[in-house]
């Protein structure tokens, strides 16, 4: 039996049993609730091997095993610089952020460099040798992993933009594209540019799907492929029996 194939110009919706894409990593690290007392790095205990105050440039410089910690999160890096004039944190070298939640879930982010702007409440994360890696741990210890060259979290609009060789991994699927946008208000994740595609597998089916745009809703777990859709679905039971 040949696999079922499709090639449509119109939007195509495919329901697949995937883990919900709770892709909220940077937003929760920034505490998007809007409460100033819980802003990124606000009220943290800062520790480092060296601490320098540059009164001419109005900066504080922390170097060597830098750690920011409070009851909500832990952030580590090789170096951190705070510019009081621009109200900007410049965090550099082996950046790690761990954010835990009351429901038992957690988010970890790894990157080479991060910038946080107090005024606009935006965060930028970059990596050169390795990609920005974010791991979201679910309650049952499963996890979702994303990789991208850079990410941009906009606190006011509650959006995350991901760019460059984007990949999102779950237990049963991998979505690949060049650009991604997560909108917390709608719970929708949109992947675009360079013909994004999804490869999925569960106990019953193998799936390959590509299109101009791929969307995923974290609540309904529906994958939607839009424009010039191509793909195939294998029923394992039938395919391997006939083979």
- Rounded Cα distance between 125 and 30, Å, is 12
Of 140, 169, 198, the one marking the end of a domain is 169
Q: Total structural domains in the chain?
A: 2
Q: How many residues does the chain have?
A: 243
- Rounded to an integer, what distance in angstroms lies between the CA atom of residue 111 and that of residue 133? 7
Q: Point out which residues pair with 42 in neighbouring strands.
A: none
User: Is residue 179 in some structural domain?
Assistant: no
Alpha carbons 94 and 113: distance in angstroms, whole number: 7
Domain presence at residue 124: yes
Distances (CA, A) of 65 to 35, 62, 73, 76: 29, 9, 16, 7
CB 210 within 8 A of CB 14: no
pLDDT band at 97 (very low <50, low <70, confident <90, very high): confident
Residues 148 and 30 grouped into a single domain: yes
Q: Render pLDDT for 126-160 as a digit per residue (tens, 0 to 9).
A: 998 789 998 877 777 778 788 999 988 787 787 87
- CA 97-67-153 angle, to 5 degrees, is 35
**Is the C-alpha dihedral spanning 42, 86, 154, 129 positive or negative?**
negative
Q: Are 138 and 22 in contact (CB under 8 A)?
A: yes
More confident position, 84 or 234: 84
Percent of the chain predicted with pLDDT > 90:
31
Q: Is residue 190 part of a domain?
A: yes
Q: Residue 215: which domain range?
A: 1-20+186-243
Question: Span 82-88, mean pLDDT?
Answer: 91
Q: Do 85 and 37 reside in the same domain of the chain?
A: yes
On whether both 1 and 37 belong to a single domain, the answer is: no
């Amino acid at each position: 039996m040949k696999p079922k194939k499709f090639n449509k110009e119109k939007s195509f919706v495919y329901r697949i049993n995937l883990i919900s894409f709770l892709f909220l990593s940077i937003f929760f690290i920034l505490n998007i609730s809007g409460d100033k007392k819980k802003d990124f790095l606000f009220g943290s205990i800062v520790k480092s091997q060296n601490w320098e105050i540059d009164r001419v440039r109005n900066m504080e410089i922390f170097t060597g095993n830098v750690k920011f910690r409070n009851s909500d999160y832990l952030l580590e890096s090789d170096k951190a610089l705070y510019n009081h004039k621009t109200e900007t944190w410049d965090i550099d070298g082996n950046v790690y952020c761990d954010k835990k939640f009351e429901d038992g879930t957690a988010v970890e982010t790894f990157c080479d460099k991060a910038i946080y702007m107090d005024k606009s409440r935006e965060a930028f994360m970059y990596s050169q040798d390795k990609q920005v890696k974010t791991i979201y741990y679910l309650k049952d210890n499963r996890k979702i992993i994303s990789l991208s060259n850079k990410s941009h979290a906009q606190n006011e609009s509650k959006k995350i933009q991901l760019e460059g060789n984007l990949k999102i991994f779950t237990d049963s699927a991998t979505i690949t594209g060049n650009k991604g946008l997560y909108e917390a208000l709608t719970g929708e994740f949109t992947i675009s540019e360079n013909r994004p595609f999804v490869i999925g597998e569960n106990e019953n089916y193998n799936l390959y799907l590509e299109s101009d745009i791929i969307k995923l809703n974290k609540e309904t777990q529906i994958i939607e492929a839009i424009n010039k859709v191509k793909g195939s679905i294998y029923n394992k039971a039938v395919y391997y029996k006939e083979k």
